[in-house]
């Protein structure tokens, strides 16, 4: 029988955090690093997974239900469950998974895995779905099978990625507009500092931020905070002080995404850097999803010459991204690594990243 090969990248969100489930804006890039799934259907009623990272031999039935599968294999199982639940064909076989996306770093290794599994399964069953349907089915698997109440950004970024382009996403209609993102053409690099910090309690914290935003929207009599965008004095009408700050992050972050897209199109990376610094402060003070470790990394990057720096992803660990003159990359990396050690935190992994292509079937 044939083997069907699909690959999907992780992502870095340049700006616009926790805005996706509030129907706002964000601007991720797809990474060059990607997860590859080689799927060999065998006519059975099970999927067997083998992974370069996690070893082999885990298998689940095509009829597995939420709660039946845990650990990393819940992501592929969730995709199969969501595909079947949407009326699309699924077949059994062996999936060899090779992950090039750092796991647990806030770079969406899970969305990369979901999208690669989904595209490989679709190829094997000769099913053609729009990218938006692929993204929604993968998200349904993550929300309702894995149990993580995440938005749609990671899957859209993985599916729509383009080389040297950021993706301006409007979650009100799920539209994606490519925006030139080529820091190298301006003598700059996108420098990523992976804190290597474990995301403690991050799922519960994520869910509680989401609930806060829903409450804030309801307090305004709105279905979503997007409808409050640009409305003068709207925040004063939210009585609960914490919910008001959460909403302020969302509304100001949406505006920063739009401003950042305009600055990038104009090649104004000083402004991009400034917006990144403001975004980080908003995540730290209003949305409260950073940690002292992550704040230290962001501050150190700027102190040693980055134009701007901010945490990327859901929060409570993961990576800090920054824009740094190419000539200073090694000095800034060394200085930040020293500051992190002086702060008593674990050694980081530092690397530069570029916007890469989206998911594909080979």
Residue numbers annotated as active site: 154
- Please list, in sequence order, all residues whose beta carbon lies within 8 angstroms of the beta carbon of residue 58, skipping any fewer than 6 positions away: 48, 49, 71, 73
- Please list, in sequence order, all residues whose beta carbon lies within 8 angstroms of the beta carbon of residue 111, skipping any fewer than 6 positions away: 8, 10, 11, 138, 142, 154, 155, 157, 158
Question: In the stretch 84-123, what mask flags binding to ligand GLA with x, by CB under 6 A?
Answer: ------------------------x---------------
Instruction: Decide: 352 and 45 in contact? Cβ < 8 Å.
Output: no
Sheet containing 25-26: order of strands: 25-26, 165-170, 175-180
Which two three-digit tokens encode residue 280?
């980080």
Angle at 324 between CA 183 and CA 263, to 5 degrees: 50
CB of 26 to ligand GLA, least distance (A): 6
> Phi and psi of 174, rounded to 5°?
60, 25
Segment interacting with ligand GLA, rule: CB under 6 A, options 147-155, 172-180, 247-255, 277-285: 147-155
Identity of the residue, 118 or 332, whose beta carbon is nearer to ligand GLA in the bound complex:
118
CB of 160 to ligand GLA, least distance (A): 14
CB of 193 to ligand GLA, least distance (A): 18
Q: Which of 82, 112, 153, 319 binds ligand GLA (CB under 6 A)?
A: 153
Identity of the residue, 96 or 114, whose beta carbon is nearer to ligand GLA in the bound complex:
114
The interface with ligand GLA within residues 325-354 (CB under 6 A) comprises: none
Q: Which of 313, 307, 302 is CA-nearest to residue 336? A: 302
C-alpha 43/C-alpha 334 separation (Å) is 53
| Sign of the CA dihedral with 96 first, then 102, 103, and 107 last | negative
CB of 134 to ligand GLA, least distance (A): 15
Number of residues that bind ligand GLA (CB under 6 A): 12
CB of 313 to ligand GLA, least distance (A): 5
In a 3-state reduction of DSSP, which class is residue 24?
coil
Q: What is the CA radius of gyration of the chain?
A: 20
Q: Which of 151, 273, 348, 358 binds ligand GLA (CB under 6 A)?
A: 151
C-alpha 253/C-alpha 224 separation (Å) is 15
Identity of the residue, 245 or 304, whose beta carbon is nearer to ligand GLA in the bound complex:
245
Identity of the residue, 124 or 260, whose beta carbon is nearer to ligand GLA in the bound complex:
260
Quote the distance between the C-alpha of residue 139 and its chain's center.
12
The interface with ligand GLA within residues 6-35 (CB under 6 A) comprises: 13, 17-18, 20-21
The interface with ligand GLA within residues 296-325 (CB under 6 A) comprises: 313-314
Which residues lie near ligand GLA (CB under 6 A)?
A: 13, 17-18, 20-21, 108, 150-151, 153-154, 313-314
């Amino acid at each position: 029988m044939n083997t069907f090969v699909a690959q999907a990248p992780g992502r870095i969100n340049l700006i616009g955090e926790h805005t996706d489930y509030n129907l706002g804006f964000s601007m991720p890039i797809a990474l060059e690093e990607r997860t590859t799934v080689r799927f060999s259907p065998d006519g059975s009623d099970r999927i067997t997974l083998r992974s370069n990272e996690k070893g082999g031999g885990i298998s689940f039935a095509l009829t597995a239900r939420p709660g039946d599968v845990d650990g990393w294999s819940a992501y592929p199982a969730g995709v199969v469950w969501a595909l079947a639940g949407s009326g699309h064909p699924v077949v059994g076989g062996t999936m060899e998974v090779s992950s090039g996306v750092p796991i647990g770093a806030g770079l969406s290794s899970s969305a990369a895995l979901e999208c690669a599994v989904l595209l490989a399964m679709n190829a094997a069953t000769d099913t053609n779905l729009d990218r938006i349907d692929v993204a929604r089915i993968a998200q349904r698997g993550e929300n309702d099978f894995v149990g993580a109440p995440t938005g749609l950004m990671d899957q859209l970024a993985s599916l729509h990625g383009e080389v040297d382009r950021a993706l301006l996403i409007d979650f009100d209609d799920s539209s994606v507009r490519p925006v030139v993102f080529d820091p190298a053409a301006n003598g700059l690099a996108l420098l990523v500092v992976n804190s290597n910090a474990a995301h403690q309690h991050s799922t519960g914290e994520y869910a509680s931020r989401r609930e806060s935003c829903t409450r804030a929207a309801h307090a305004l009599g709105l279905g979503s905070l997007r409808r409050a965008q640009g409305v003068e004095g709207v925040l004063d009408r939210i009585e609960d002080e914490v919910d008001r700050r959460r909403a302020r992050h969302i509304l100001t972050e949406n505006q920063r995404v739009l401003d950042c897209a305009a600055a990038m199109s104009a090649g104004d990376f000083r402004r991009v850097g400034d917006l990144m610094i403001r975004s980080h402060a908003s995540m730290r003070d209003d949305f409260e999803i950073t940690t002292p470790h992550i704040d230290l990394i962001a501050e150190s990057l700027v102190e040693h010459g980055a134009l701007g720096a901010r945490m990327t992803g859901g929060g409570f660990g993961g990576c800090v991204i920054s824009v740094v003159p190419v000539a200073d990359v090694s000095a800034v990396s060394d200085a930040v690594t020293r500051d992190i050690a002086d702060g008593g935190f674990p050694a980081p992994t530092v690397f530069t990243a570029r916007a890469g292509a989206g998911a594909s079937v080979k």
